[in-house]
């Protein structure tokens, strides 16, 4: 393993951040959980404050739309698709999304 990757994994673990490595992003069989994330239940007000001060209005709308899609049963990949206002699918995903 590359030394820098090892340092990144160690640092993530110290901060409770999960790390997944993979050979192919679309092939879940190639995913390897290197560090499990520490789950923390934050108060809704704290989350709202963070989102409002750190994410653009367009980003907030994308996020809200994705959460709605997850709640209605869409897969994570389906929820991450970005749609334009005329319902044509834009060929991008949250991977290309900038905060």
34 touches 54 (CB < 8 A): no
Q: What is the DSSP track for 22-63?
A: -S-TT-GGG-EEEEPPPP----HHHHHHHHHHHS-HHHHHHH
Low-confidence winner among 12-21, 22-31, 32-41, 86-95 (lowest mean pLDDT): 86-95
Per-residue pLDDT tens for 23-79?
A: 998 888 999 999 999 988 899 999 889 989 999 999 899 888 888 988 999 887 888
């Amino acid at each position: 393993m590359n030394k820098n990757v090892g340092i990144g994994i160690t640092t993530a673990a110290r901060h409770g951040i999960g790390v997944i490595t993979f050979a192919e992003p679309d092939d879940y069989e190639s995913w390897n959980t290197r560090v499990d994330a520490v789950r923390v239940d934050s108060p809704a007000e704290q989350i709202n404050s963070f989102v409002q001060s750190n994410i653009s209005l367009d980003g907030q709308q994308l996020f809200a739309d994705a959460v709605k899609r997850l709640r209605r049963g869409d897969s994570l990949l389906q929820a991450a698709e970005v749609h334009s206002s005329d319902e044509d699918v834009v060929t991008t995903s949250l991977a290309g999304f900038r905060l």
